Amino acid sequence: MNMLLPVEIARAASAMGAKKAEMPHARMFSLAVLAGAYIAFGGNFATVVSSDLSKYFGYGFAQLVTGAVFALGLTLVVLGGAELFTGNNMVLTVAALDGAVSWPAVARAWAIVYAGNFVGALLMSSLAYASGQWAAANFQVGARALAIANAKVGLTLSQAFFRGVLCNWLVCLAVWLTLAAKDVAGKVSALFFPIAAFVACGFEHSIANMYFVPLGIFLGRVEPVVAAAGLSGKIAGLGWWTFVTRNLLPVTAGNIVGGAVFVGLAYWYAYLGRAPVAPGASGSTRSPGST
């Protein structure tokens, strides 16, 4: 078989998590900056493609195509070998539960990668703004970017949290499935549908939002873009404080739950977790299907 079985994926995830936790911090941070930029490239691509698509093909098809092109981001991360906070929520959790790495090391790695992702995504939003790309199609590209950002900060805290849970459940399943594949084509096809699904369904990815919302904040100062988006007088809540408190923090919390609990913990328990020890028995045994 040109793929790993689920129990082999679980072992690979544990080994990968341990390797990530042992990475020198400077290298970890630099690879995280790249991952933040790569996810932003996917977001930029999706914004351009979706800027006028629903007008011609309707909401559903536009969402599908938007999700399909956004998959560029995780493709660059996985094949390029970068460090993404949301994917690390799963692999580092599996490694910690398996005893391959300590929880303080997990927290440290998450913090470093999260900071690096933010730098990379913010760099890309700054470059996209400076490029003037948003003026394309009579400001429709910028209008789409602004509308995306404005909608994200308009979510309630519970909406942002649960959309974050659902998002990273799919993202970490995408990463899990790429571990099963042994070639490039297999990895890309494995990640494609979960990523397309989370975007099409409107779920929330903390690292992607580090690109989308700052770009929207920048564009909120450009009157032709605001007018093209039909948001004149309607973007008072689009600012840095609102972004962090009403979107980034609850989405990040949801992403951690979705990736660490619904994928990492669930698969660790299923394939690597130790079965309960019977009274009077010595030692412990692995659960069925594991060694």
Q: What is the pLDDT of residues 226-282, one digit of tens each?
A: 999 999 988 878 999 999 999 999 999 999 999 999 999 999 999 999 744 344 444
Q: What is the pLDDT of residues 63-122, one digit of tens each?
A: 999 999 999 999 999 999 999 999 999 999 999 999 999 999 999 999 999 999 999 999
Question: How confident is the model at residue 233, as a pLDDT?
Answer: 86
pTM for the predicted model, two decimal places: 0.93
Measured CA to CA in angstroms, residue 26 lies from 15, 30, 126 at distances of 21, 6, 23
Which H or E element spans position 34?
A: helix 25-50
Question: How confident is the model at residue 236, as a pLDDT?
Answer: 76
Q: How wide is the angle at C-alpha 149 spanned by C-alphas 148 and 155, nearest 5°? A: 95
Tell whether the model's pLDDT for residue 287 goes beyond 60: no
Question: How confident is the model at residue 270, as a pLDDT?
Answer: 97
Residue 254 and residue 273: Cα distance in Å, rounded?
A: 24
Q: 103 with 22: CB under 8 angstroms?
A: no
Tokens of 255: 């992403």
Tell whether the model's pLDDT for residue 17 goes beyond 70: yes
CA torsion sign, 220 to 222 to 228 to 232? Answer: positive
Domains in the chain, ordered, with CATH?
Answer: 6-272 (1.20.1080.10)
In the block, residue with structure tokens 């090391």:
105
